[in-house]
Amino acid sequence: MWALSAYIKPYRKFVLLGPLFMIMEVFFDLLQPRLAAHIVNFGVVERDFGVIEKTAFIMAAVALLSLATGVGCNLFASRASQNFGADIREALFTKVQSFSFENLEHFKSGSLITRMTSDVVQVQNLVQILLQGLVRAPSLLVGSVIMAMLMNLRLGLILLGTLVILVAVLFVLIRYSSPLFAQVQTKLDALNTRIQENVAGIRVVKAFARSDFEKRRFREVNRDYTNRSIQAARMIALNSPIVTLIMNACLVIILLYGGRSVSFGSVQVGDMIAFVNYVLQALASLLMVSGLLMNVTQANVSAKRIDEVLTAQPHMTDPATSSVAAVAARHVKLEDVSFSYGGSSAPKELAVRNIDIEAKRGDTIAIIGATGSGKSTLVQLIPRLYDVTSGSIRIDGTDIRDIPLAELRRSIGMILQESFLFTGTIRDNLAFGKPDATQEEIEEAARIAQAHDFIAKLPEGYGTKLGQKGVNLSGGQKQRIAIARALLIKPPIIIMDDSMSALDLGTERRLRTALERLTKDAVTFLIAQRISTVVGAQRIVVMDEGAVAGSGTHDELMRSCDVYQDIYRSQFGNQEVSHVGRQFHSNH
């Protein structure tokens, strides 16, 4: 928890006022048994109604003051704890935004969600409890013992000995419960990951009629989480009964000894009543302390998990200094580029290896190959979604690792294989990369992407609300919106990662024609499965098992590259590619 203390500092005023009000409440609560003893000893026993009336009025006033100070403490504690939790959630979200893909793969999305929700709630609740109970419980416990010992030393020593035994018992319970709380949160990570995965892939589950299989898988992780939670709950459940048992035994001994003292006249009845009240207060405060210690143990596990995220260093960082003001992208060069998802620790498992590609403004570099050949992996290195394992990528002679990430990525319009759309309007999604875009700019990009016509036919046009991931659009419509989103920023580098796969041939042909004007002023990297899509590129790179199997124009590859010829025959047999296909991205 100490690692998160910086997030409570902005609210130190509430942190100070809350315990201060609680100390006042404890003081008033400790007065009540003494006042009750005064009523019994000097009012009831002496039959003096004036003493009873006067003392009762004082007790009522003390009770009201206790109420007011308790409410004040709760208000200040709530302000501090809620703002503390909100700041941590924001810090976690901000940190996650700075993570590279390697960081995200390390933590897993389900675990990050757990840390930003359940773990934050744990530490937030602990702050609330600490500001209320950290002062109240120990103060009331210590105060009750002191007041009891002042009233009768021998009876007080019995109470003190009981507390020593209870502290030892609590230490054992906490020692064994702490590892269980850590395991519970880990199992919750797995549960959230399973839920998230199933909800995201629910269409696949239904399409393959695998609901029963998914139910079984969920039942396993859910039962695993439940069993571990029950184990932790057992430790918590032992806490209150053990404390109550020991304290009740203490109370019985005190009543037996104290009752005998009263009968012999060595202890007044009122003092005995007050002493029992102090014992009950000590019991209540000790139960509070034991619960507080359990909460601290549980929240400490969550705090460590939160701190792991906050202190994690992004694998990919901006250069310390950079002289690059803006990326013109007149020239892009990939030089001996190799990459492994395991980084330098797994150099033998290269996803792409020894890639050399060079392109200048106006060029279209098409990349084609079988599934798993490394096409998408290669283009993800250009905007530094991953860093190269070896080699370099240079834009206008500058290594991309020396260019600020934000500046680099603003200069690249990337259209990914999965057309991910956010909840919101179509306009919001189109203007995602350029929030200040005018309606005219948005519509122009949509026209180029062949999306304007179907958007205009929607009841609310560009103001149409999209469901999660654009669920209320077809695959082709989502793909065209994703293309328009990338084109709107008019980037000097365009990466189209199989972004026409969901389009029919007619729409694709119109899109290619509309793109010709735009790509004259850009470096374009085009990944595609269809030869008709790449045939007009200035250069076609054929990839096979992570390496370049051939490079050149369509005609050159048809003469020299076996892999390209196999792809051609699988799509066209012995036919020629259409004239329209040959014109794609031609600058002539």
pLDDT tens figures, 22-37: 888 878 877 877 787 7
What pLDDT score was predicted for residue 586?
42
**More confident site: 396 or 586:** 396
Q: Give the residue extent of every domain in the chain.
A: 8-178+238-310, 331-411+491-582
Which stretch of 14-18, 157-161, 397-401, 549-553 has the lowest confidence by average pLDDT?
Answer: 157-161
- The pLDDT-based confidence of 587 (bands split at 50, 70, 90) is very low
Alpha-carbon distance of 515 to 519, in angstroms, equals 6
- Going 507 to 513 to 514 to 515, the CA torsion angle's sign is positive
What pLDDT score was predicted for residue 581?
42
Q: What is the mean pLDDT of residues 146-166?
A: 79
What pLDDT score was predicted for residue 393?
92
The torsion region of residue 340 among left (phi > 0), alpha (psi -120 to 50) and beta comes to beta
pLDDT digits (tens, 9 = 90+) for 434-457: 888 899 999 888 888 888 888 888
What pLDDT score was predicted for residue 142?
79
* pTM for the full predicted model: 0.65
Whether 579 shows a pLDDT value over 60: the answer reads no
What pLDDT score was predicted for residue 362?
85
Q: What is the mean pLDDT of residues 224-243?
A: 77
What pLDDT score was predicted for residue 335?
93
Whether 249 shows a pLDDT value over 60: the answer reads yes
**More confident site: 584 or 318:** 318
Share of the chain above pLDDT 70, in %: 90
What pLDDT score was predicted for residue 28?
84
The pLDDT mean for the chain works out to 80
Quote the radius of gyration of the chain (alpha carbons, Å): 36
What pLDDT score was predicted for residue 326?
65
Give the burial class of 585: count Cβ atoms within 10 A of its Cβ; 0-12 exposed, 13-18 middle, 19 or more buried: buried
What pLDDT score was predicted for residue 521?
81
What pLDDT score was predicted for residue 356?
92
Whether 580 shows a pLDDT value over 60: the answer reads no
What pLDDT score was predicted for residue 320?
67
Alpha-carbon distance of 215 to 198, in angstroms, equals 10
How would DSSP label each residue in 109-140?
HHHHHHIIIIIHHHHHHHHHHIIIIIHHHHHH
The rounded Cα 147 to chain-centroid distance in angstroms is 49
What pLDDT score was predicted for residue 577?
47
pLDDT digits (tens, 9 = 90+) for 164-218: 887 787 777 777 777 777 788 788 878 877 877 777 677 667 666 777 888 888 8
Q: Under CATH, which number does the domain 8-178+238-310 receive? A: 1.20.1560.10
| Beta bridge pairs of residue 552 | 540
**Candidate CATH numbers 3.40.190.10, 3.30.365.10, 3.30.420.40, 3.40.50.300; the one for domain 331-411+491-582:** 3.40.50.300
Whether 583 shows a pLDDT value over 60: the answer reads no
Q: What is the mean pLDDT of residues 271-300?
A: 75
Alpha-carbon distance of 139 to 29, in angstroms, equals 11
Alpha-carbon distance of 19 to 74, in angstroms, equals 10
Alpha-carbon distance of 159 to 141, in angstroms, equals 11
How would DSSP label each residue in 419-437?
----SEEHHHHHTTT-TT-
pLDDT digits (tens, 9 = 90+) for 264-281: 777 777 777 777 777 777
**Residue 325 one-letter amino acid:** A
Q: How many CB atoms are located within 10 Å of the residue 183 CB?
A: 16
Alpha-carbon distance of 472 to 465, in angstroms, equals 9
Whether 239 shows a pLDDT value over 80: the answer reads no
Alpha-carbon distance of 212 to 208, in angstroms, equals 11
What pLDDT score was predicted for residue 207?
66
Share of the chain above pLDDT 90, in %: 4
Cα dist from 226 to 154, 229, 297, 523, 545, whole Å:
48, 5, 19, 54, 44
pLDDT digits (tens, 9 = 90+) for 357-371: 998 888 889 999 888
